[in-house]
Every structure is written in structure tokens, then in C-alpha cells.
Amino acid sequence: MRALAVFPDRRELRMIDVPEPVRRGEREVTVRIREVGICGTDREIGAFHYGAPAPGAERLVLGHEALGEVIEVGSSVSTLAPGDLVALTVRRPCDAVSCVACRAGRQDFCVSGRFVERGIHGADGYLTELVVEDERYLVKVPHGLAEVGVLIEPLTIAAKAAVDLDAILRRYPWEPVGLRALVLGAGPIGLLGAMMLVARNVTTFVYSREAADSDRGELTRSFGAEYVSAGDTPLSELPPRIGNADVVFEAVGAARVAFGALPALAPNGVFILSGVPAAGTPIEIDLDGIMRDIVLKNQVLFGTVNASRAAFEASVRQLEQFMGLFPDALRSLITHRATLEDAPELLHRPGGIKQVVSLAA
């Protein structure tokens, strides 16, 4: 069967032929992959900047944002049946006995750093036709989400952030109502994060570089958030333009933008960092001012990476809610669909919002 693989040592990215995977354990499930989303991580791996094959292997099959269909299940599988749609989780627990996170099934909080991520680090991914996986790493998806289910994995970033955000908001001795949020970046994660906030009745502003009358600006307004273009409003003018934000959700992966937006964070506000910046030239920022503000305004900054099974399940519920609230906006996040054969080209040609490789017959 076909697969898209990267050979880091030879600096090659190409379609290869691989044997079909074989089910061995009773709890294993054979999944036919239907769609795989492409993101910046895939592009970095495809450009040989990141990622690693399994130990001893020379190539890594790419793809980690996947929606599939169950075609066979082992005799002990109890939660899934052939025909079910599933989202495939990405991170697998490390082997460290002392890693309390992985031992508790929360490998998104792994402390040893020796975790494996399918399609990214240490295990093959999902840009192929068939995958065998333990049922505990597969999350059932309602058929009504078939056309957007590929967004479940990117949405887990916001779903996990929302759980942590709620925990932090519980420190207030009052009910946090009438919240205002600023989302930095109008890529898939930023827009999904903005949808999550709007769905929670948070007044939401999305700040990004595209023009106010761009497709992204229009899309943002279509689901009930406001769009502010960096072209019209420099970072320094954000607070007077939109007021203070109780929550900032960063999804640009650029420290200059993230920390430049800190003055817009309200007293007692929460700033969520989800982007991963590439190594770049050091920038100069007023750290004394930032630290003073964080202390004197009781602010919280936290980072969030990967997702637990619970976050995938929350993401499925969230996506169902979005489908009810703003189905057209949700659908229009997927701007390109390509075949598996065209996937290598897709990796080299960023564009639109979310690009998806479609393997469905």
C-alpha cells in the first residue's frame, strides 16, 4: 500500500510502498485512513528540520491529523466496531516507570520527554492507507462529522487549553461572566480556538496579518468573532482598539507577537501559548515591564502541547457543537483537498487555511 515518507538521512520526501499492517493484539483495530490534515509540523518534517523515524528505521511515514474508518477489530475490542469513524490520537506514553503523567495515561504531560508521536517522532504516521492501532488510542467520531472530522486533532489544542483555562478561572471568588478574549493568529488553530471561545459566549477578537476584508476576516466575522488586521492596527495599538482581554489565545508561534500582545491582557487575565516558534534572531523586549505586570496584575501565562484522550473526546463534542452553530464557517476552514499522490507537492505549497489529503474512495 502507498505511504508518504521522509528519509531524514538522505533528505528525501517521497511516496513509498509499504506492507499492509497486521493486527496482532486482541485489542487492536485496523483503520482505513480517510483524511489527513497537513500542518506546519509536517512541513518542518518534510523539510528535514524536525521529526525522527522509529529507532533503527530509515524512514518516517508522515501525517498525524487523521480521521479513519474502522474495518476490523480484535476479539477484545469493546468500544469500536467496523464502520465506525475514529480520530487517531498522536502521542504514546514513554517507558519511564517514574513518569507519573504517562503512567496515568496523560502522555500530553510526559515528564521524561521520551514519548513517541505517530507521524512526528519515533513512530510512523497516518499518511497511508491502513493503520493498526490499540483501541485505547482511537476516539469514536459521529458520522455527522465525517466531512470535518479531520479537524479534531488540531482542535484538541484549544480543547485542552479550555480545560486548563477553566481550572485557572476557578481561582476567582466570583463567576467569570462577560469575558473578552483575544486570539493571535487566523490559522486553523487560531480560528478553531476563536470558535471555541465564541461557543462559550466569550466576546472574541481575532488578530492576524491578513487584511480586514480578506477571506479570513470574513470567515472570522461569519461565526461571531471580530477581526482586527495587523495591517490597520499595530500591536501597540491593540489595547486602545479592543480593550483589555481576559483571555489571550496565542496561535502564531512568534514571540514578538505573543509578548507584544501582553499589554492587552487584563488584570487577573490568562495568556495561553500554543505556537512553537522556530529558532530565530533574538528579539529585545521589556522583560522588567512584563514581569511587573504579571505580578501586579495576578496574570497567568501557560503553554499547552499535544492532547490526551479526554481532549480528543472534548474536541469531538466541541466539533458537534460548532456544526450546529456555524456549519458553513467550520466547513470553510478546509480550503484544499488533495490526493495522497499530490501530498508531497502539498507539503511544499502552503496556502489557504487547512489543507487536507483525502484518501476516501
Residues within the interface to Zn ion (CB under 5 A):
39, 41, 65, 94, 99, 102, 110, 112
Contacts of 343 (CB under 8 A, 6+ apart): 4, 15, 38, 62, 127, 357
Residue 96 CB, nearest distance to Zn ion (Å)?
A: 5
Nearest to Zn ion of 55, 240 (CB atom): 55
SS3 state of residue 64: coil
Nearest to Zn ion of 128, 229 (CB atom): 128
Computed from CA positions of residues 239, 242, 247, 250, in that sequence, does the dihedral angle turn out positive or negative?
Answer: negative
Instruction: Report d(CA 98, CA 71) in Å as an integer.
Output: 37
Contacts of 211 (CB under 8 A, 6+ apart): 217, 229, 231
Burial class (CB in 10 A: 0-12, 13-18, 19+), 280: exposed
Nearest to Zn ion of 102, 257 (CB atom): 102
Instruction: Compute CA distances 104 → 92, 94, 108, 313, whole Å.
Output: 12, 11, 11, 17
Nearest to Zn ion of 60, 228 (CB atom): 60
Nearest to Zn ion of 102, 270 (CB atom): 102
Length of the chain counted residue by residue: 361
SS3 state of residue 204: strand
Nearest to Zn ion of 78, 98 (CB atom): 98
Question: How is 222-277 classified by DSSP, letter by letter?
Answer: HTT-EEEETTTS-GGGHHHHH--EEEEEE-S--HHHHHHTGGGEEEEEEEEE---P
Nearest to Zn ion of 156, 229 (CB atom): 156
Nearest to Zn ion of 38, 184 (CB atom): 38
